[in-house]
Amino acid sequence: MTPRPPCAPQPPRPPRLHHDPLAGRVVVIAPERAERPSDSGAADARWAVPGEPCPFCAGQEARTPPAVLRAPADPALPWHARIVANRFPLVADGPAAGRTPEDRHAAVRPARGVHEVVIESPTHETSILALTPPAWRDVWQLCRRRLEMVAARDDLAWATVFKNSGPRAGASLAHVHSQLIGLDFVPPAIEAELAALASCSGGVNRLLAAAEAGGRVVAEAAGLVALVPPAPRQPFETWILPVRPAAFFHAAEPASVAALADLSRAVIGRLERLVPEVEYNWWLHQAPFAAGRAAAAAWHWHLEILPRITPLAGFELGTSCHVTTLPPDEAASLLRGAAAR
Ligand SMILES: [Zn+2]
Ligand SMILES: [Zn+2]
């Protein structure tokens, strides 16, 4: 057999899901993501040619796939937010024909779903605080609409939007953006939350009452509350959720979506005042599309905001327990005191 020349094109290697039933762990093996562009100084930064424009800036639209959704919707107007397919997806979209429910528990199977990028500004901003409040509300309304479209597909089970802000949080490009992902299975974190909700008397009302009594409420707006959770994994971890049960963010009223935009902006503003240039992740948790009636009636969709201040080390990775230096009530007090003056 003739050895492959070093520069021969490699056949495509689509992402696959590897399932470890003993660890309860799912890992996406996605070799092609090693090729993705980066300006973060990460190991895959070789595409960041000095002087080459950022692919997310206005004027560079030809370097991304076409928009699946944009704001404003009228293509004759300049965009201020757009959602495009991720060129380096964690999951591949495609026909679901031939799959059976048993496939979902296979040790190795194709990773299927949608994986998109939400480009949140036409200009090269690196913080959401550079966007005006109305523009930031439009970003969240756009995400809600796209999640609603994903939820209407009968081959997908769950969807989220998440943000990596800063290299330590996993961002490969600095231009403000989030990612939207729809999966054909319910991830372990959501299964665990469903199980905890079913076994905890009082459910989310208990969490809300304890936050109120414990001085852990940071801010409130239009039926939503921002609070420091009882066991934060990092200093200033904050969750935003509706006070009344609401299983699906994609079904939220425009006023709730606007309130989420305003509260997320306020929390990040306060965080940046307390920890300049803070890096962080956030992710949306909502119910599985096929959640049972009881689970759907008790669930509150929520945004979990996790600052990346201390690294995850052996204890955290080995035990799923965390260590933090800041008590949650003190974190909430500092966040309340850091409101814009
Ligand atoms: Zn840019
Ligand atoms: Zn959650």
From the CA of 161, how far away is ligand 1's center (Å)? 20
Contact 280, 233 (CB under 8 A): no
Q: Which ligand is nearest to the CA of 187?
A: 2
pLDDT of 45 above 80: no
| CB-count burial class (<10 Å; 0-12, 13-18, 19+) for 160 | buried
Tell me the ligand closest to 192's alpha carbon: 2
Which listed ligand is nearest to 175 at the C-alpha? 1
| Residue 41 pLDDT | 46
110-169 confidence digits (pLDDT tens) = 889 999 999 999 999 999 999 999 999 999 999 999 999 999 999 999 999 999 999 889
- CA of residue 177 to ligand 1 center, whole Å: 10
Higher pLDDT, 339 or 3: 339
Ligand 2 centre to CA of 272 (Å) is 23
Task: Answer for the pair 182, 83: CB distance below 8 angstroms, yes or no.
Answer: no
CA of 304 relative to ligand 2 center, distance in Å: 6
Over the chain, what is the mean pLDDT? Answer: 89
Please count the residues of the chain: 341
Mean per-residue pLDDT, 236-264: 97
Q: Which amino acid is at 76?
A: A
DSSP helix/strand/coil, 64: coil
C-alpha of residue 147 to centroid of ligand 1, in Å:
24
Which ligand is the nearest neighbour of the Cα of 59?
A: 1
Categorize the per-residue pLDDT at 42 as very low, low, confident or very high, splitting at 50, 70 and 90.
very low
For the segment 50-71, the average pLDDT, to the nearest whole number, is 90
**Residue 35: C-alpha distances to residues 64, 91, 172, 303 (Å):** 15, 15, 11, 30
Q: What does the pLDDT read at residue 332?
A: 98
Does the pLDDT of residue 9 top 60, yes or no? yes
For residue 129, the CA-to-ligand 1 centroid distance in Å is: 15
Helix (H, G, I), strand (E, B) or coil at 86: coil
In degrees, rounded to 5, the angle at the alpha carbon of residue 188 between the alpha carbons of residues 184 and 193 is 115
The tokens describing 276, both together, are 């300049």
Ligand closest to Cα of 52 equals 1
Q: 262 pLDDT band (50/70/90 cuts)?
A: very high
pLDDT in tens, 179-212: 999 999 999 999 999 999 888 888 899 999 999 9
Residues 124, 57 contacting (CB under 8 angstroms):
yes
Check whether 338 has a pLDDT greater than 60.
yes
123 Cα to the center of ligand 1, angstroms: 6
The tens digit of pLDDT for each residue in 68-85 reads 999 999 999 999 999 999
Query: Contact, 242 vs 227, CB < 8 A?
Result: no
Higher-confidence residue of 328 and 20: namely 328
Ligand minimally distant from the alpha carbon of residue 160: 2
Residue 198, pLDDT score = 85
CA of 165 to the centre of ligand 1 (A): 14
Q: How far is the CA of 140 from the centre of ligand 2 (A)?
A: 18
CA distance 218 to 225: 8
Res 5 pLDDT > 70: no
* C-alpha of residue 190 to centroid of ligand 2, in Å: 7
Q: How confident is the model at residue 172 (pLDDT cuts 50, 70, 90)?
A: confident
pLDDT value for 315: 93
Highest mean pLDDT among 3-7, 36-40, 244-248: 244-248
Ligand nearest to the CA of 241: 2
46: which DSSP letter? G
Please tell me the distance between residue 59's alpha carbon and the centre of ligand 1 in angstroms.
Answer: 10
Provide φ and ψ at 335, rounded to 5°: -65, -40
76 C-alpha to ligand 1 centroid (Å): 21
Q: Is the pLDDT assigned to residue 229 strictly greater than 70?
A: yes
Tell me: pLDDT of 44 over 80.
Answer: no
pLDDT band at 22 (very low <50, low <70, confident <90, very high): confident
Phi, psi of 312 (to 5 degrees): -80, 125
**pLDDT score for 203:** 87
Q: How far apart are CA 119 and CA 161, in angstroms?
A: 12
* pLDDT more than 90, % of the chain: 69
Alpha-carbon Rg for the chain, nearest whole angstrom, is 21
Residue type, 110: P
If pLDDT is split at 50, 70 and 90, which confidence band does 96 have? low
| Ligand (nearest to CA of 37) | 1
Ligand nearest the Cα atom of residue 237: 2
Q: What is the pTM for the complete model shown?
A: 0.91
Q: Which ligand is nearest to the CA of 174?
A: 1
For residue 95, what pLDDT is reported?
65
